[in-house]
Structure 1
Amino acid sequence: MLLEADTLVYDHDKNTVTAVGGVRIDYGGNRLVAQRVAYDRNTGRLVASGNVEIVDSNGTKIYSDEIDVTDDFANGFVNALRVETIDKTYFAAESAERMGGVLTTFNNGVYTACAPCEAQPDRAPIWRIKAQKIIWNGTSKTVRFENSRFEFFGFPIAYVPSFEIADPTVKRKSGFLFPGLKTKSELGFGVAVPYYFALSPTYDLTVTGTGFTKQGFLGEAEWRQRFDSGEYSLKIAGIRQNDPQAFVQPNGRHGVNSGPADDPNRLRGMVGTKGRFDINPRWVFGWDILAQSDQNFAYTYQIDGYSNYIYQSQIYLTGLNDRNFFDLRAMRFEVQSDALNDERRDKEPWVLPVWDYSYIPDEPVWGGELNFGVNLRSVSRSHLDYRPEKPAVRGIDGTSTRLTAEAEWKRSFITDGGLVVTPLLAFQADTTSVSQTQASVDAINNMAARLPTPVETDILSAYYRAMATAGLELRWPVLFSSTSASHVLEPMAQVFARPNERYAAELGIPNEDAQSFVFDATTLFERDKFSGYDRIEGGTRANVGFRYSGSYDNGWATNALFGQSYQLAGRNSFASPDLVNAGAYSGLETDTSDFVGLMGLVSPLGLSASASARLDEHTLEVRRAELKAGYSSSPISVTAQYAFIQAQPLYGFDQDRKEMTLGASSRFHENWRAFGSGTYDFQSGVVTRNSVGFAYDDECFSYTVTMTTKRDANLNPEKREKDVQTFGFNISFRTLGDFGSSTRDLLQ
């Protein structure tokens, strides 16, 4: 024991030692500070008084005017004390007694995780628990409250005879977690009660039971385990529905989970698992798999981690070393639609596998950079993905396998005048095998008959393809500077010489990975503007434009890009329709493309704005446009976005699409904020989505409430679904847990 004090008084008759003035005692990792400490050698007790503070070996601080404690700090008694743990939780009591060094009993005590207000220390915290007895057990790591009441902003809102929580210093402990609320029109009102099993420092189990007023009892269990190299989880859930007919929509549409009393979908469930393991610093293996009794069980019951509307199950192996990359995956997509016998489920493909490999040598090759890549994909589909009303075959039934290898070399030279000259050589080779049924052949022929111009419909079971590219890029960045700003204007030109794309005009060639296609300023200077490998760009093409960037001393910054693309020779790949009409309405289907451009600005005041557009090459009519603006500065932030896409009949959009989204958030107090957003569809004249909410958050408590309304934008009012309202709230008390609902769907 180390003792420091201004004065020590030894009373040999009473066998006591008294320390007075600036007393500090350190013993066994404990520290006591007081104005006066009297030690009775006969009883082994210390009586400290005058602004007493004890800090034990765990970092817990105890404050009082007087404390009676044994010399090993294991037992003691104190009146009018305040305790602050290392995790910033607080106890206060009229008196407390400590026994055996592990059991502390607070009489007429108070517990909270909210720090006291510095300006008004006597003001009640946001929340606190008052109890006749609070028993803190250091062995079982629990805190038990007896005859307790929960107070919110100083007002009692709940009385609980007895309950127990984990020690604030404990991160994992078995016991009931805070209940949750779930509400949905088809399910009714539900209360979820989870129980957590802390079985080991490396694995645990959570079992949750949810009772719904309409559909009965939903059971869930999740096992989680962690290893030195990774972790995995396994989740199961199931229910025997009481009322499958509740899923029939007001317009008479049946859901996949609705039917008569003996409906086989009465019993529903799922199994899901996720995992990720680091094989070594360069290689990662993982999986994310969902298997369920029907196509939307996890979505309907909002099973945590598996409720995405479009769910992607996959197994993957990924390697990354320096500039080399390897990725091998097997994937399955599932649309969790509620439509009865939704054909989209059978139309979603299995991807077994998709493989990407990229290799870039560390050393220059002929003074430039060489990039080598391989892509393999094999897609299988049990049902043809084709709708006669839209002349596009989005996926054939059967199996389509393609292997692609490509290489690219480029080197940049800078002349004395600042001109950057970059020659480029590239080569790509593909081999593909296709197995399709007569249904696919008939659909392709039907599609060809409906296209504006005749095309070939040769159905090939295998084909080989190669594409060589010789390119040259010229860039001349010019700097203009003044005392208050600097500007860089960079004219650019590219020429890519290639042979024609083989099989470009034949509809029998599958297109599985290059269906998403948008031509705008960001893709103007791409060597191959198709998004995947199934389509490749052919013919000789030139891309011309300029880039601009400016910065100002006052903090403002601007940028812009503008240009056009030209088909100089050969067949225009973007004017050659494929199974999904990729390239149609893109602005590249003519020899002289549409104009594309973007501009943006950023200010130090929190203002930002951008605009991008594609304009007709002759009339400058707007074909596609997007405008964005935002302002963020305490306490307000505002965002606005407008999007316009001209009609695309071959894609199934016969009318122009225009949409605007507005959003705002305001922190009107240090801890309070309000937010809202809305989306307006100009074509239907409907606000398709609007939401409002507010939130409170501080170091010990947070609360969020939102209300969202979704509306169907179907132009035919008779076919519109009724509005769906979603209400959600969540309350979080630090150290106690979360309470609230995820969503509430109400049909008006």
Structure 2
Amino acid sequence: MRYNYRHLIGATTFFLAFNIITPQGTPPSNEQTTTSTPSKIKKNETNRHSELDISSDEIVLNSEGSTTTAVGNVKIEYKGYHLSARDITFNHKNHRIIASGNIKLIEPDKRQIHAEYLDITDDFTNGIIKNLTIKIPADETYLTASSAQIIGQRTIFDKGTYTACSSCSKPNSRPPFWIVKSKRAILNRKTHTIRLEKPYLEIFGNSIFYFPLIEIPDETVVRKTGFLTPLFSSGEKQRFGVGIPYYLVISDNSDATFTFSPHPKKGILGEMELRKYFHSGKHTLHAAYMYNNNVESGEERHQAMLASIAEFEINPIWNLGWHLKKQTSGQLSYNYYSDALSKRININQIYLTGTGEKNSFDMRALHYHIQEPLSKNEKKFPQANIYPLIDYRYVDLQYAKSQQISITGNITAISRAKEKNTINQMKHDSQPWIPNGINRRLSIEADWRKKIIGPLGILFTPIANIRGDLHYLSFNRDLSSDTISNNPNFVASKMLTAGLDIRYPIVAVTQKSRHILEGIAQVYAATDEKYIKTIPNEDSHSLVLNSTSLFTQNRFSGFDRIEGGNRTNLGIRYIGSFNNLFTINGVIGRSIHILGTNSFSIPDSIGIGQNSGLEDKFSDYAAAVRLSLSPKITFSTQTLINPKDWSTRRTDTTIDYTMGSYEANISYTHIPAYPLYAYDARKTIQSRIKFKINDVLSADASLKWNMRAELPSHSIGLAYQNDCATVKIIYKNESPNIHGYKIQARLSLRTIGDFNPIDIDG
């Protein structure tokens, strides 16, 4: 609640100028009526630049009663204030100002104040205002009160209300969506506080929360020590809890928030957030402690956490920051922490980044920590520590961007804890292997390519690439016995690549259509990739052959793997537009291994090349088609076809439909079996529908059906959003069990805050 009635009262000082417009030289009668037109009246000679614009239907001067009254459609402009009312009277005898009837004041900051009656002394220290409504445009909030009493520096509101709903601030037969009511509110202009006595929150006319007392700073205070709005939480893990935050101003550039949160089903949580602001950034220190009175398996009675988060802009190019967190073991209380800390998978990191016109630099130290309980795979493959991870890239575009020279560098140092010297003494012949120990790598790559337009518009792009890698491994894999031993060794490798990209577009234009047919041929000659089986694959886990990766030099996503051998990529790309009715985009092609070692035919530590469609001499056919019938309907499909039996190895098909506020999507995905990871073949149908019922109500539904399962996972959501609140209710079931559903409700009240989601499990 932010307002100041001194502005309202100050605007009425024009009545002090009414003595000026009394007829001069003739004694005034007991009562004179003057029909008035809009006029500009100087306030006095000593302040000639302060002028009043006054207009009304008539002005009544009563010398016997010592009053001056402006009657009918009174409008006043004074120093940026606009005041209007039905009648305004100045009593010269008792020095009071009285206004009545549709009083409206617009302040210079566009704040609007409405009232029905005003009676106040001319020194603005005492008075009353009745049927008061204030609109604050800064956040579109509304304050109302049946009456307000001004006593010196204090304004006391009787039965005040507060809301951010425009319709809720007006008399209405329907209960407001939400509104805060208080028995009494006190605005103290000396202490710059607003005191709410016995406030309670109503939603649709029902009281939800009640507090004995709330005191908040007014709009003149940016930071003030005191209690903040309480926080409420509930859910599957938390059950129910309430947080009581206390805000402390330490200095001009530092403050802190202390939160005390009792959780009846778990324990008492105390949190501290200390913030320090600098010219170049901000540092935040989080600390938390929970006394766990309901200890579950693997938990500690005393659970604590300490976190440091910082980000600094050293200059427009360089940025420095970190996110560090330490906690007790067996930690499950992350469910109760604030959003910045309530993550199951935490990444502790320190980073330094820089971005220039041609260069980019990124250096990080990373530590991964997964909150308990751990899954089977998480226990089998412990998370790595990476320090450092350095990426550098230099790109220079020359000769009107027809030539490009780039240099890429990477340093990665990965370590996993070793409990015993024999931890790696195991066979790894038919399963993924991620060894414990140290894996450090230095990679440097230089690339040159130039676009040349030849005869008939053929585009030639010659390519030259050189790459070198140096590994230090604290372990060694014996290929003869398929075992890993703890024997440190260095491994060096290089890759030389020369290539040529040829593209020939043919354009055909008719009266009703336009066609572009482009033939693409790529040839790459490279040395063989070495040490595929002995160096673990840590960062090249993504490999999919489709239309986007078909015409690329290196299909591996990271630095641990690089595509080697001699290979050619052949394909055709087509774009057609038909009388602006629909367009077709299509591409089809394949990759052929010519000489040397096929990088995709040899399984690495995680078997990334298996079932990729590239493991044979002649790859699968990669094809894609996109049909746009209009901006409303789009059909697209990607497929990978095995030429041996013309079966589809993988298919992704999607249909999108959009019309106004209605959106629909349906997709079909077929993924082959992956025996190495015990993945069966999957055929999945997914659909999603979203539409607006009216201006405030919308709904959506989704369906995901693995055709091998009996019950598809599905969800249904309903959302209500107006100018003051958002409500979302979601029902979803992601398990094959019909009783494995979850209902989630979220409530957000604008200007008050969000209520943590409530989960109900089936």
TM-score range relative to shorter protein: 0.7 to 0.9
Q: Which runs of 5+ in 2 are unaligned?
A: 1-49
Matches within 5 A, 1:560-639: 560-602=586-628, 604-639=630-665
Aligned counterpart, 2:12: none
Aligned-pair identity in percent equals 29
Aligned counterpart, 1:38: 89
User: 1:624-647 CA distances to partner (integer Å, 9 max, x unpaired)?
Assistant: 222223333344323333322211
- In structure 2, how many angstroms separate the alpha carbons of the residues matched to 1:224 and 1:582? 45
Deviates more, 1:82-91 or 1:466-475: 82-91
Alpha-carbon contact 1:190-1:212 (below 8 Å) kept: yes
Deviates more, 1:625-634 or 1:466-475: 625-634
- In structure 2, how many angstroms separate the alpha carbons of the residues matched to 1:277 and 1:555? 52
Provide closer, same or farther for how the CA distance between residues 93 and 242 of structure 1 changes in structure 2, counting only shifts above 3 A: closer
Aligned counterpart, 1:493: 521
Matches within 5 A, 1:155-194: 155-158=205-208, 160=210, 162-164=212-214, 166=216, 169=219, 174-184=226-236, 189-194=239-244
SS at match of 1:361: strand
Aligned counterpart, 1:739: 755
Give the alignment partner of residue 673 of structure 2, picking from 647, 660, 663. 647
Q: Give the drift of 1:77.
A: 2.1
- In structure 2, how many angstroms separate the alpha carbons of the residues matched to 1:601 and 1:611? 9
Aligned counterpart, 1:373: 408
Give the alignment partner of residue 658 of structure 1, picking from 683, 701, 705. 683
SS at match of 2:613: coil
Is residue 52 of structure 1 aligned with residue 52 of structure 2? no
Aligned counterpart, 2:701: 676
Provide closer, same or farther for how the CA distance between residues 340 and 152 of structure 1 changes in structure 2, counting only shifts above 3 A: closer
Q: Give the drift of 1:740.
A: 4.2
**Aligned-residue CA RMSD (Å):** 3.5
Provide closer, same or farther for how the CA distance between residues 147 and 282 of structure 1 changes in structure 2, counting only shifts above 3 A: closer
Is residue 461 of structure 1 aligned with residue 489 of structure 2? yes
Aligned counterpart, 2:721: 697
SS at match of 2:551: coil
Is residue 534 of structure 1 aligned with residue 585 of structure 2? no
Is residue 231 of structure 1 aligned with residue 282 of structure 2? yes
- In structure 1, how many angstroms separate the alpha carbons of the residues matched to 2:427 and 2:100? 89
Is residue 348 of structure 1 aligned with residue 372 of structure 2? no
User: 1:343-397 CA distances to partner (integer Å, 9 max, x unpaired)?
Assistant: 6387211111111111123544996211111111111112469997982444222
Deviates more, 1:113-122 or 1:480-489: 113-122
- In structure 1, how many angstroms separate the alpha carbons of the residues matched to 2:368 and 2:229? 33
- In structure 2, how many angstroms separate the alpha carbons of the residues matched to 1:736 and 1:690? 33
Alpha-carbon contact 2:696-2:721 (below 8 Å) kept: yes
Relative to the length of structure 1, the TM-score reads: 0.84
User: 1:117-166 CA distances to partner (integer Å, 9 max, x unpaired)?
Assistant: 8999675532234444333344555444445564434x343584743364
User: 1:35-87 CA distances to partner (integer Å, 9 max, x unpaired)?
Assistant: 44333345543323343212345543222343224456565422233222233
Matches within 5 A, 1:375-454: 375-383=410-418, 391-436=430-475, 441=477, 447=482
Provide closer, same or farther for how the CA distance between residues 303 and 143 of structure 1 changes in structure 2, counting only shifts above 3 A: closer
Alignment coverage as a number of residue pairs: 703
Deviates more, 1:57-66 or 1:336-345: 336-345
Q: Give the drift of 1:12.
A: 5.7
SS at match of 2:600: helix
- In structure 2, how many angstroms separate the alpha carbons of the residues matched to 1:539 and 1:711? 45
SS at match of 1:600: strand
Alpha-carbon contact 1:458-1:508 (below 8 Å) kept: no
Alpha-carbon contact 1:178-1:738 (below 8 Å) kept: no
Provide closer, same or farther for how the CA distance between residues 225 and 677 of structure 1 changes in structure 2, counting only shifts above 3 A: farther
Alpha-carbon contact 2:282-2:310 (below 8 Å) kept: yes
Aligned counterpart, 2:143: 91
Give the alignment partner of residue 212 of structure 1, picking from 263, 266, 269. 263
Provide closer, same or farther for how the CA distance between residues 166 and 118 of structure 1 changes in structure 2, counting only shifts above 3 A: closer
Aligned counterpart, 1:718: none
Aligned counterpart, 1:719: none
Alpha-carbon contact 2:402-2:452 (below 8 Å) kept: no
Read off the aligned partner of 1:487 and give its amino acid letter: H
- In structure 2, how many angstroms separate the alpha carbons of the residues matched to 1:149 and 1:194? 16
Deviates more, 1:378-387 or 1:311-320: 378-387
Q: Give the drift of 1:180.
A: 1.6
Provide closer, same or farther for how the CA distance between residues 558 and 95 of structure 1 changes in structure 2, counting only shifts above 3 A: same
Deviates more, 1:119-128 or 1:292-301: 119-128
Relative to the length of structure 2, the TM-score reads: 0.83
- In structure 2, how many angstroms separate the alpha carbons of the residues matched to 1:434 and 1:158? 62
Aligned counterpart, 2:501: 473
Aligned counterpart, 1:717: none
Q: Give the drift of 1:594.
A: 0.6
Alpha-carbon contact 2:306-2:325 (below 8 Å) kept: yes
Aligned counterpart, 1:359: 394
- In structure 2, how many angstroms separate the alpha carbons of the residues matched to 1:425 and 1:739? 58
- In structure 2, how many angstroms separate the alpha carbons of the residues matched to 1:390 and 1:44? 100
Provide closer, same or farther for how the CA distance between residues 128 and 458 of structure 1 changes in structure 2, counting only shifts above 3 A: closer
Alpha-carbon contact 2:144-2:169 (below 8 Å) kept: no
Matches within 5 A, 1:232-247: 232-245=283-296, 247=297
- In structure 1, how many angstroms separate the alpha carbons of the residues matched to 2:271 and 2:481? 48
Provide closer, same or farther for how the CA distance between residues 228 and 398 of structure 1 changes in structure 2, counting only shifts above 3 A: same
Read off the aligned partner of 1:477 and give its amino acid letter: P
Is residue 318 of structure 1 aligned with residue 335 of structure 2? no
Alpha-carbon contact 1:104-1:135 (below 8 Å) kept: yes
SS at match of 1:417: helix
Aligned counterpart, 1:197: 247
Read off the aligned partner of 1:549 and give its amino acid letter: I
Q: Give the drift of 1:686.
A: 4.6
Q: Give the drift of 1:541.
A: 0.6
Provide closer, same or farther for how the CA distance between residues 147 and 471 of structure 1 changes in structure 2, counting only shifts above 3 A: closer
Provide closer, same or farther for how the CA distance between residues 431 and 164 of structure 1 changes in structure 2, counting only shifts above 3 A: same
Give the alignment partner of residue 5 of structure 1, picking from 54, 67, 72. 54
Is residue 559 of structure 1 aligned with residue 585 of structure 2? yes
Is residue 706 of structure 1 aligned with residue 730 of structure 2? yes
- In structure 2, how many angstroms separate the alpha carbons of the residues matched to 1:573 and 1:528? 10
Provide closer, same or farther for how the CA distance between residues 599 and 202 of structure 1 changes in structure 2, counting only shifts above 3 A: farther
Alpha-carbon contact 2:76-2:84 (below 8 Å) kept: yes
Q: Give the drift of 1:570.
A: 1.5
- In structure 1, how many angstroms separate the alpha carbons of the residues matched to 2:525 and 2:289? 60
Matches within 5 A, 1:537-552: 537-551=563-577
Read off the aligned partner of 2:274 and give its amino acid letter: W
- In structure 2, how many angstroms separate the alpha carbons of the residues matched to 1:550 and 1:272? 56
Q: Which runs of 5+ in 1 are unaligned?
A: 248-255, 258-264, 450-456, 714-721
Aligned counterpart, 1:136: 187
Read off the aligned partner of 1:308 and give its amino acid letter: K
Provide closer, same or farther for how the CA distance between residues 175 and 470 of structure 1 changes in structure 2, counting only shifts above 3 A: same
Deviates more, 1:334-343 or 1:726-735: 334-343
Alpha-carbon contact 1:168-1:735 (below 8 Å) kept: no
User: 1:507-549 CA distances to partner (integer Å, 9 max, x unpaired)?
Assistant: 2223222233222221111111111112221111100112233
Q: Give the drift of 1:459.
A: 7.8
